[in-house]
Structure 1
Amino acid sequence: MTLDEFNRWSPDEARDALLACAHVDRWAEEVAAGRPYATVEDAVEAALTTADPWTDDEVDSALARHPRIGERAEGEAADASMSRSEQAGVDTSDDDVTRRLAEGNRAYEQRFGHVFLVRAAGRSAEEILEQLTERLGNDAETERANAARNLREIAALRLKGMLTA
């Protein structure tokens, strides 16, 4: 889709497309309501500004749509397709990496109560494991802020990709 197409869509169509970037109703509605955008960069900036801050409930809503790192998102929904693309660089053919990711994901979820989230696009499995190990040492407040920041980064990357496809 192009920026011009996005700008011409109905509010509901734009909102639905934005929900694939981050499943946060208020955010999608506000970004859609801000149209028309002059440039893709303007749309991405509006998305980032509107997402900062997200409430705890909004972070939970967005996190619920993300699979564990190293696990493929199921289904044909746009957000599942985006997630598979983002995690394409995570090599799960290495049994040791797969095991360490699974163990780290379990430990993280037990400690923080939600999936470990990191912007996977452009990162290797080793880089992601390093982030996971490091972030397991965080307190809950710090980690909540990290999750929200990563969700914003992912939403911005998804929106930019969607508008330049």
Structure 2
Amino acid sequence: MAASEERTLPSPSPSPIAPPALAIPKQAQTGSTAAMHPGLDHFNAAPPDEARAFLLDCCASERWAQRVAEHRPYPDLDALLAAADEAGYDLGPADLDEALAAEESEYAGSGDTPQSALTALRAAHAAYEAKFGHAFLLSLDAFHDDEHLDQVLAGLRTRLTNDPDEERSVAAEQLRRLARERITDALYVLTYA
């Protein structure tokens, strides 16, 4: 070949067989999941510090919040919750301590809760915190409001028998569940803010 001749790649010849169609999930074909979770669009588009602050309200681990925020945008709520779970499973001891230290015992009963039950609840929370050094966490999402007090008291009684290592594992699982609930609730609030 002479030095003045240019080399070019041959142009592809038309193939008699059409390439396979790309598989697009049905959800993507029917429209954005933002219609189902409009708050997700706001979360995905938020500046990094705002997204991190949003997540810290759901789980007070800086490492967890940073990790979940860095993986934005999320195509749907399920992907966001899966990322939150994965980051939760990867919390180191110091990260878990940080998140647990920020938690407070939330259940205070309703207006018709007997005083004796509230006294028992406060005593059980105090015993739990004295033994384990952090607030008692329990996801009540699967229970009706009228079952909450019984579930909290039963959970406290049962978990007070755990050794500290076992309870850290249980508390970490409850923290992951609560973070999922808080993310879902907070996205709902963003929808109407």
Which structure shows the higher helix fraction?
Answer: 1
Considering only aligned residues, what root-mean-square deviation do their CA atoms show, in Å? 1.6
Q: Is the 8 A contact 1:91 1:124 kept in 2?
A: no
Gap runs ≥5 in structure 2:
1-37
Aligned equivalent of 2:44: 7
User: Which range is displaced more, 131-140 or 106-115?
Assistant: 106-115
Q: Deviations over 1:24-81 (max 9, x none)?
A: 111111111100100011111111111103122222221222222435xxxxxxxxxx
1:62 aligns with 2:99: yes
Calculate percent identity across the aligned residue pairs.
34
Question: What TM-score results when the alignment is normalised by the length of structure 1?
Answer: 0.82
1:150 aligns with 2:169: no
Specify the code of the residue in structure 2 equivalent to 1:128: V
- How many positions carry a matched residue from both structures? 147
Aligned equivalent of 2:132: 112
SS of residue paired to 2:89: coil
Aligned equivalent of 2:57: 20
Q: Relative contact order, CA 8 A, sep 6+: which one is greater?
A: 1
Aligned counterparts of 2:177 and 2:186: Cα–Cα separation in 1? 14
Q: Is the 8 A contact 1:40 1:163 kept in 2?
A: no
Distance 1:69 1:12, change over 3 A: closer
Gap runs ≥5 in structure 1:
72-89
Question: What TM-score results when the alignment is normalised by the length of structure 2?
Answer: 0.71
Find the partner of 1:91 among 79, 102, 110: 110
